[in-house]
Structures are given as structure tokens and as C-alpha cells.
Chain A
Amino acid sequence: MWDTIFRPYRSSDAQHSDRSAGDRLRHREKVRQSIRENIADIIAEESIIGKNRDRIIKVPIRGIKEYRFIHGENAGGVAQGGQGGLEPGDVVEDGQDQGHKGEGKAGNQPGVDYYETDVTLEELIGIMFEDLELPDLERKKLREMDAERLTRRKGYRTVGIRVRLDRRRTVKEKLRRRLAVQGSLGEYADKRFPFHENDLVYRHVTTDIKKESNAVVLCMMDTSGSMDTMKKYLARSFFFLLCQFVYTKYRNVEIVFIAHHTQATEVTEEEFFSKGEAGGTLISSAYERALEIIAARYHPSLWNIYAFHCSDGDNFEADNDTALRRAQELCEACNLFGYGEIKPHGHYAYESSMMTFFRKLVAPNFMTLRIERKEDVYPCFRTFLSKDRASAEPLSA
């Protein structure tokens, strides 16, 4: 008869043998990379405005499928029926509700093997804003904004958590103790000299709050009658990204919301993202209100100011010169003034545009971009905020 051996369970093995850890890490890196590459599509498909940050989003992953030669749809297949007879022509599975069945069946059928992963909105936003920051942040006199929390090494202690154990110093301590008692060891001189609790040395770490200059972001949005649902949606998507970005990256940046038609009013965040209005358009009104607010609360010598304006550019013609003058003034006060023109496809052929008009405005910190589709929102946003402005190419400016 053949021999059989039982090898009993050893928990030490279990702790050391997490051999899939490296491959899992590599797989997750690939997932993240894939998300990063497709993020413009993902956020264009998902209406993320006003969603809870803990919400889980299903993100289709491309590029990490394992491709092979497989048979296509006309191959069909064989399965076992459940209870009850089946007749030729019966529909046994409807692709429409495939999504609810979970992953259990994916993978054994070619074509159905699409791969999805769950990401929280928080994580997605983290990936989106990874390499963006408010550009040209200057040192201003008053610094009270906490920008980053850094952990910094600060000396050594005898107590601490395991991961911060300093092995080199611990061994030194032990050697020192051994040298001190060497003479008195006697017959134990050749025996093991184990570590003692007092030998352990841990690195000590403190958190450091780095102060940065004050900053304020001014969001100006056109809410006039010509801004239809689609245009408002695009503008709001842009501002939503902007707010999420500021909240994610900076702790104390202030945001001011201004909604305008022929008059401009400062509104709350909630109103800004939900309220609709109607009427004509005087762009200068928004800029004037912005200048007033800057003068009253955010003096340029103390604050970094970022102003963004989204409109369809359908301005009342007589207002154009005033608007240009005010924009000029805003440029002088702000670190960056961005103008995004919302022109869904087919619109700009017959509508007036501020883009041509703003060409007369020459200032290094003034940027104009055109948003045509929802896919443009994120690239456009990136162009405004890229660290390295030279490498970011404007889409259709």
C-alpha cells in the first residue's frame, strides 16, 4: 500500500507564506493605472455631482483582461437545465439583467468576461487630483492655511509600535549591555545572549503641519436663460470637480460662489449647484461682484486668488467692452483667471462667443478653454490646474 504523510498546520508558516501578496499588489497597480488612463471617460459616464463620497462606483477596467483566442458568439454552448422542461426557443438568460448576477458566472463564457472593479468616489477623486495643484501659489504675508500634514522623524524612544523598531540601534544597545556585563558572565560567557526589553529602540515620529499661503477660489457661473440644461450640467460638472479638488488637496482654502444673469449674487454652495434662473446675460456684472468681494474680503497682497468663470459666451453685446475691462482688472488681482466657454456641439456656429473677444485681453495668467462635450470637462480642468503648464495641452482654445 502507498504511504501517506500528514503535515500539521503551523501558524508561523501561514504568516510567512502570503506568497500572492506581490502579485496582488502588481494587479492593483495595474487596476489603478487603468483607471487613471480612462478617468476622463469614467467621470463623463458617471454623474458624480453631489454624490456622497463614500458611494461605490463600478468602473469598467480595460487593458488588464487576459486575452487569448476564444470562440465568438456564434459558438453557443451546453448547460444543464434547472427544474421544469425547456423547449427550443425558450430564453434562458437575458443579458439585460446580467449585471445583477454578480461575478459568479463571468469568465466561463467568452464575450461576457468584462471586468469591473469597485472604487469609492473618494478613491476616484484621489486618483484624479494626484498630480494637480493650485498653480503659482505665492507667499503672502499672512499664512494660515494648513496645506499638508507631513510625518517627520524626531528622535528615538524606548516605546513604540513594531514597524518603527530601529534594528540597528536595538542591536547596538544589546552589544553595549553585553560589553558592560562581560566580565561577570563567568560560565555563561559562551551561551546565547538574548535581547532584553530594554534594548528595544523605536523611531519617534511627529506630524508637522506646513503652513501655506491663504487662497480663495472664486466660482462664477452664468445662469441666464440661454444656459440650457446641458450647458448648466457641463458648467456644474466643472465646478464640482474644482470644489472636490480644493476640498481634497487643501484644508483651508475658501470658495466663493457667484451666480449671474444680468445681476450677480453671491450664493451658497448648495444653491450654486442646484438653482436655476433665467434672464439675459451681463458678464460684467459677475466680474464686478467678484472685484467687490476681493476688495472687501480678500486683499490681493494677503491672498492667492483663483477665479473661474463658466458661461456660454452669449453676452449682451453692449456689455462686452465693460466685461473686457473688468476681466483685465480681475487678471491683475488674481493669480489665475480661467474662462471656460460651454459650447455643446453645433451651438457655436450661430451664437456669439466671448472667446474671440477675450483674445484682446493679454495677460499671462488668463486662460480660455472651450468645453464641448462632457468628455472635455476633465481634460479642461486638468489644463487649468496642471503643475507643469507647458506639458498640458489646451484642448480647443
Chain B
Amino acid sequence: MSNLYSVEDLEEWDRRIREKAREFGLDCCPQQFEICDHNQMLSSMAYSGVPSHYPHWSYGKAYEKQKTLYDYGVSGLPYEMVINSNPALAYLMRDNSLLLQILTIAHVYGHNDFFKNNFTFKTTRPEYAVDTFKAHGDRIRRYIEDPSIGLENVEKLLDAAHAVSLQCRRNLAIRKRTIEEERSVLVESSLAPADPFQALHRRESLPPPNLNKIPPVPDEDLLLFIRDHNPDLSRWEKDVLTIVNEEAQYFIPQIETKIMNEGWATYWHAKILDGLELPQELYLEFLVRHNQVVRPFPMSLNPYHIGLAIWQDIHRRHNGPEDPAKRTADEKLFEIRESDRDSSFLRRHLTEPLVRELNLFEYEIKGAQKVVKNVADQDGWLQVKEALLKNVGMNSVPVIKVEDADFGHNHTLYLVHDHDGRDLELEYAEKTLAYLCQLWHGEVVLETALDAKRYLLIHNDGGFATKALP
């Protein structure tokens, strides 16, 4: 059957695919393919593809969930699994047909190129990724085996750290200022601007900044802030918080570019396979598989479908006779893949006809029902687009910042939720605050809004309480 192929066959196809990819201008890191069976694939998926990841029960849960879905045939296994590392690591499942392997290889080069060139990945240090994960795993395992620490304690800390791991800076291309720099910025901004008519004007008096406050300006990196400002944490605890934070930072670019990245890889696998002059039976299978990948998921979002449609649309718009652009369409594509992420990508390139073509709609939840709020018509499409922007990448994670580490001179950690019209889920907020309380070793207060009224959510030794603000 179609399974009859050897590694040499794959190498031959790979050579042809690479030639095509280079011809199209893809620019990749060295690549490694590992051939695995479906159990290894399930394991890899549970750990987001990372080899020698540190242990935690949540990955066991992820595995069980994937396996159940796979066993009941609800979802198949993904064809590809690529890790942003240098050399890039990808898995090929040995039970797949030859065509699927070819498709996967081409798709993987799309991701590889994206990882290497997109700006959001500049801070991920792919050449150290595998070693870093291994070092993290070794350290956590050592803490687990340390008789004075033990599994229970490490697990408790990881549970808490995982709960707030995504509460960190989103745009890593912007350097974080040190406390001293923040203070000098505060001082500068409190001085009146230079005025050429000083003699005529009365001196403006600005309130002096409070330089003793910690943090000087609200801080988004919850884990790092707690690590640096809770003196009771022991060294291993600080190390675990660092590890969890570093992992989150590593994965944020992938969260931030899901639609772009999948669309990009799909766009190129289609072009490469079209250019390979596949024999007919392989070509027919390719059409079937490709259409399975890019079909819309009703009542859900398929990033492959949406991403591909936008990339194709950009290409068409810059290639059409109506726009004899100076740059070729391909150059435009490569420029966008370098300088955008999902939210900017969608904001710039998701047009009204596309919203309609993709049949996007916005819904709201009323009791147990999901009710359509806006559809892609003339009045509604912008709202649909805005709603989509709020839900892509890290925009779906509430922004929560540390406002004060010593609120009321009471060692209370005061957090503020940047409310953008979306309330927090209260049960989850309560449990997450409990975790924060555990990490901070003291009272934690979160200022947020529920049903358009300001509230304080308070968690301390006595448990959870809410307090309405005037």
C-alpha cells in the first residue's frame, strides 16, 4: 500500500521539496525529522513537542485527553509537530502514507522559515531551546528527588506557577526597563518641559513622583515580580518560578502568531506540492488531505483556513492588474511574515469581503445558549473583526498588573485588572488568587469590574472575599 516507502524515498522527496522551497525564497534553519509511532506522537503532543520536558501531572492529563479523542476517532493526530529550535525538530508519524509525509515535510519548512524570520521569535534563542528545556527538566527532577523538597512541594509550587505563567509581558521585542530606569523616567516626566518663555510663563507645578513605591510603574510579569519581591522564597522556589516564566516566554510567540504561522505553512505546502509534479494518485490524495486541513470548522475557528485565506488574499491584491506595485507580491508576503503578528496581521489584512467569505460571526453567551450577535454584513463586519482581534493570541488572556507590593503598608500584593469590557470568570479568579496568595505568602487583592461595577477580590488566610468599591 501507500505505506511502502523507505527513509531513502523520504530523503529523495525531501531533496526535491527543499529545492522548491528555496526557489520560492523560503529561508530555513537546519532541519531534523524524527520518525515516530503514534504513542510517541501523543507523548510529544502532551509536552508541546519538547524533548525531556520537566514532569507535571497536567501533561499526563493532556495525554489522556488526546488519547481519548484519538481512540474514539474524534480527532486524528496532527500531521506535523515542529519545535522552534535550531536545528528545527519535527516528527513524522511512521504510519502515515507517503503523500502525508511529503505534505508534512513541506508544511514543516513553512513553519521553520516562519520561526526563523518572524520578529516575535527573535527573543526565543532557538539554538539553545532543546538544551534549555533539558536543563529545566533536570533541575526540576533534582528538586523532586531532593529529600528536603520532594514531589509534593514541587508539584504544589508548579500548580501555582502554571496558573499565572501567562500573566507576563506580551511583546518581548520591547526591552523591559529596570527599576532604576523606570524611576528616572518618572522623575523626568515630573519635571516641567523646557519652556523658551520661562520669564513670561508661571512655572507649572507637577506633583512629585512617589519613588518609594514598588513597582514604580505597574508590572505585568507576575511570576518574576513575586520571585524578586518575596524574600521568604527559598532558592529552589525562585528557580522554579524562573523556569516556568522562561517557558511561557518561549511559547508566547507561538500563541501570538497561531493564525499567521499555520496559514503561512499551509500556503507554502500547497505551492510546493503544486510545483512538485506529483504522480496522479499522490496528487489526488494531496487534494483530499489539503482540503481536510483547510476546511472551516463550523462553530469554531480553523487557523489553517483563516490564515491561508488571508495570505492568498494579500498575494492576489498585490498581484492583480489594478495594482502594478513596485514590489512583487511575494516580496510583500515575506515582508509581512517578518513584521506582523496575529493581531496586527488581522487588523491590517482582514477585509470585509474576507470576513464574509470566511463566514465569521460574533456570538454572545446568554445563559446556556450561544446567540449570534453580529454577522458579516455591512453594519456588523467591523464588530465581528474587533471581536476576533480581542480573541487572538494573548489578547484572550486578561491583562493583570502588579500595582503595589506593600498596599496599606501591610505586605498586601495589590493587582489591577485592565478591564476591557470583559469580566473575569469569578470561580477561576478565586482559585487563581489562592495560588497567588500561596506564592506571595500573604494577602493578595485584585481590582476588577463585574457587571460594570468596580470590585476588589481579596484572598488571604481567611479565604476569599469580594468587596464593592464606591
Q: A residues engaging B (CB < 8 A)?
A: 1-9, 13-14, 17-20, 22-28, 30, 64-83, 85-96, 98, 102-105, 107-108, 110-111
Cross-chain contact A24 with B60 (CB below 8 angstroms): yes
23 A-B contact pairs sorted by A residue (CB < 8 Å):
A2-B18, A6-B33, A9-B35, A26-B155, A27-B61, A66-B58, A67-B432, A69-B398, A71-B396, A74-B421, A75-B423, A76-B363, A76-B365, A80-B298, A81-B298, A81-B360, A82-B359, A87-B375, A88-B372, A88-B380, A91-B371, A92-B363, A92-B370
Q: Report the bound CA distance from A82 to B301 in whole Å.
A: 11
What 1/0 mask marks residues of chain B from 385 to 401 whose CB sits below 8 Å from any chain A CB? 00110110000111010
Choose among B32, B56, B166, B398 the residue that contacts A4 (Cβ–Cβ < 8 A).
B32
Top 4 nearest A-B pairs (CB, nearest first) are A95-B368, A82-B298, A23-B60, A27-B60
CB distance from A102 to the nearest CB of B (A): 6
Q: Is the CB of A80 within 8 A of B11?
A: no
Complex formed: what's the CA distance from A82 to B299 in Å? 7
- Given known pairs A71-B423, A88-B380, the reply for A66 and B163 (CB within 8 Å) is yes
Complex alpha-carbon distance, A64 and B387, angstroms: 31
**Interface with A: B68-76, B210-218, B236-244, B405-413, which one?**
B68-76
The answer to whether B31 has its CB under 8 Å from any CB of chain A is yes
How many residues from B make CB contacts under 8 Å with A?
Answer: 95
Contact of B400 among A23, A69, A98 (CB under 8 A): A69
Choose from B63, B423, B432 the contact partner of A24 (Cβ within 8 Å): B63
Binding site for A on B (CB under 8 A): 7, 10-11, 14, 18-19, 22, 28-37, 39-40, 42-43, 46-47, 52, 55-61, 63-65, 68-69, 72, 74-75, 87, 94, 155, 162-164, 166-167, 296-302, 305-306, 358-365, 367-375, 380, 384, 387-388, 390-391, 396-398, 400, 417, 421-426, 428-429, 431-432, 435
Answer whether A78 and B360 are a contact pair too, CB < 8 Å, given A20-B47, A95-B367, A110-B425. Answer: yes
The reply to whether B375 and A18 form a contact with Cβ atoms under 8 Å apart is no
Give the complex CA separation of A77 and B387 in angstroms: 7
CB neighbours (8 Å) of B30 from chain A are 2-5
Shortest distance between the CB of A87 and any CB in chain B (Å):
7
Which A residues lie within 8 Å of B35 (CB)? Answer: 6-9
Total CB contacts across the A-B interface at under 8 A: 242
Q: Known contacts A75-B422, A75-B423, A103-B69; is A20 also within 8 Å of B36 by CB?
A: no
Measured between alpha carbons, how far is A108 from B303 in the docked complex, in Å?
13
A348 to B63, CA, bound (A): 52
6 more CB-based (< 8 A) A-B contacts, given A7-B34, A20-B60, A78-B363 = A23-B60, A28-B60, A69-B428, A80-B305, A81-B298, A86-B361
What residues of B have a CB within 8 angstroms of the CB of A7 in the complex?
A: 32-35
Interface residue from B63, B300, B305 paired with A108 (Cβ < 8 Å): B300
Residue of A nearest to B45 (CB): A20
Instruction: Name the distance in Å between B2's Cβ and chain A's nearest Cβ.
Output: 17
| Cα of A353 to Cα of B16 in the assembled complex, Å | 89
Residues in chain B near residue A96, CB distance under 8 A: 368
**Contact call A93/B370, Cβ cutoff below 8 A:** yes
**CB <8 Å contact, A78 and B426:** no
What distance in Å separates the Cβ of B209 from its nearest Cβ neighbour in chain A?
Answer: 29
Q: Are A76 and B373 in contact (CB under 8 A)?
A: yes
Contact in complex: A27, B64 (CB < 8 Å): yes
Contacts of B298 in A (CB 8 A): 79-83
Query: In the bound complex, how far is the Cα of B299 from the Cα of A83, in angstroms?
Result: 11
In the assembled complex, how far is the CB of residue A132 from the closest CB belonging to chain B, in whole angstroms? 26
Compute how far the CA of A380 lies from the CA of B160 in the bound complex, rounded to whole angstroms.
Answer: 36
User: Are A70 and B425 in contact (CB-based, < 8 A)?
Assistant: yes
* Contact status B387-A88, CB under 8 Å: no
Whole-angstrom distance from the CB of A84 to the nearest CB of chain B? 9
In contact, B388 and A1 (Cβ under 8 angstroms): no
CB-CB < 8 A to A1: which residues of B? 18-19, 22
